[in-house]
A and B are shown apart, each in its own frame.
Chain A
Amino acid sequence: MATDLQPLSALAPGGHAVVADVRLAPESRGRLLEMGLLVGTPIELVRFAPLGDPVEIKIRGYHLSLRRQDADQILVRPR
Chain B
Amino acid sequence: MSPTDSSSPGSVPRSVRPYVVLTGNPNCGKTTLFNALTGLRAKVGNYPGVTVERKEGELQGAAQNIRVLDLPGTYSLSPQSLDEQVARDVLFHRLPEVPSPALVIVVVDASNLQRNLYFATQVIELGYPTVIALNMVDVATDNGVSIQTEQLSLALGVPVHPIVASSGVGVLELTRSIAARAVQPPSPSTPRLFCELPRNYGLEAEKLTEALSQSFPETRYQALAEALLILSDERIVQSSPRRYSPALLAQVAAARQRLESQGVDWRSVPIEARYARVSAIEQMVSTCAPIHGDSTTDKIDRVVTDRVWGLVIFVAIMALIFQGIFSLAETPKAWIEWGVESMGRWVSRQMPPGPLNELIELGVFKGAGAVAVFLPQICLLFFFIGLLEDTGYMARAAFLMDRLMSKVGLHGKSFIPMLSSFACAIPGIMASRTIESPKDRLVTILVAPLMSCSARLPVYTLLIAACIPRVRVAGVLELPGLVMLAMYLLGVIVALAMAWLFKKTLLKGPTPMLILELPPYKRPLLRVVLRHMWDRSRLFLRRAGTVILGINILLWFLASYPKDRAAESAFEQRLALAKAAPAAAGVSTQERDAAFEQLRKEEAGRRLRESFAGRLGRGIEPLIRPLGFDWKIGIGIIASFAAREVFVSTMSLVYNVGELDRDSDAGLQTLAQKLQEQKAADGGAQFRPRIALALMVFYVFALQCVSTVAIVRRETNTWRWPLFQWVYMGALAWGFAFLTYRIAPWFGLS
Residues of A within 8 A of B (CB): 24, 26-36, 38-39, 47, 49-54, 56, 60-67, 70
Contact = CB atoms under 8 A, between A and B. Distances in A.
B112 A54 contact: no
Nearest to B311: A50
| Interface pairs A-B: 9 shortest CB-CB | A51-B403, A63-B518, A34-B76, A53-B403, A33-B271, A65-B516, A50-B310, A60-B114, A50-B307
A18 B514 CA distance: 21
Given A31-B75, A34-B75, A51 B400 contact: yes
6 contacts: A29-B268, A33-B267, A51-B400, A53-B406, A54-B402, A64-B516
Interface string B516-543: 1111000000000000000000000000
A49 B400 contact: yes
Interface in B295-332: 301, 305-308, 310-311
B593 interface: no
A63 B406 contact: no
Interface of B: 75-76, 78, 80, 111-115, 118, 233-235, 267-268, 271-272, 275, 301, 305-308, 310-311, 395, 399-400, 402-404, 406, 412, 510, 512-519
B275 A36 contact: yes
Contact of B516 (A26, A29, A52, A54): A54
Contacts of A70: 513-514
Contacts of B305: 47, 49-50, 56
Nearest to A49: B399
B514 A36 contact: no
A16 to B, nearest CB: 15
Contact of A24 (B112, B272, B513): B513
A43 to B, nearest CB: 14
A28 B115 contact: no
Contacts of B76: 31, 34
A38 B277 CA distance: 14
Given A36-B114, A50-B306, A67 B400 contact: no
A38 B399 contact: no
Contacts of B311: 50
A30 to B, nearest CB: 6
A53 B513 contact: no
A66 B535 CA distance: 32
B514 A67 contact: yes
Nearest to B238: A27
With most chain A CB atoms within 10 A of its CB, the pick from B115, B308, B395 is: B115
Given A33-B267, A51-B400, A53-B406, A63 B517 contact: yes
Nearest to A67: B514
B114 A38 contact: no
Given A36-B115, A67-B513, A30 B75 contact: no
Nearest to B404: A51
Nearest to B297: A63
Contact of A66 (B118, B234, B400, B515): B515
B267 A29 contact: yes
A32 B185 CA distance: 39
A30 B78 contact: yes
Given A27-B235, A30-B78, A54 B268 contact: no
B125 to A, nearest CB: 15
A62 to B, nearest CB: 5
A53 B518 CA distance: 15
A34 B267 contact: no
A60 B403 contact: no
B516 A28 contact: no
Contacts of B400: 49-51
Contacts of A60: 112, 114-115
A30 B77 CA distance: 12
Contact of B272 (A29, A38, A52, A53): A38
B112 A56 contact: no
A32 B516 CA distance: 11
B267 A49 contact: no
B514 A66 contact: yes
Nearest to B515: A31
B402 A28 contact: no
A35 B267 contact: no
A18 to B, nearest CB: 14
A70 B516 CA distance: 13
A27 to B, nearest CB: 7
Contacts of B267: 26, 29-30, 33
Nearest to B395: A65
Contact of A35 (B75, B234, B272, B519): B75
With most chain B CB atoms within 10 A of its CB, the pick from A31, A39, A53 is: A31
B487 to A, nearest CB: 28
A27 B301 CA distance: 31
B399 A54 contact: yes
Given A50-B310, A52-B403, A64 B517 contact: yes
Contacts of B233: 30
Contact of A62 (B112, B234, B271, B402): B112
A29 B112 CA distance: 21
Contacts of A53: 402-403, 406
A61 B112 contact: yes
Given A35-B115, A49-B403, 8 more contacts: A27-B235, A28-B513, A33-B271, A38-B268, A38-B275, A50-B306, A51-B400, A64-B517
With most chain B CB atoms within 10 A of its CB, the pick from A39, A47, A60, A62 is: A62
With most chain A CB atoms within 10 A of its CB, the pick from B118, B305, B513, B518 is: B513
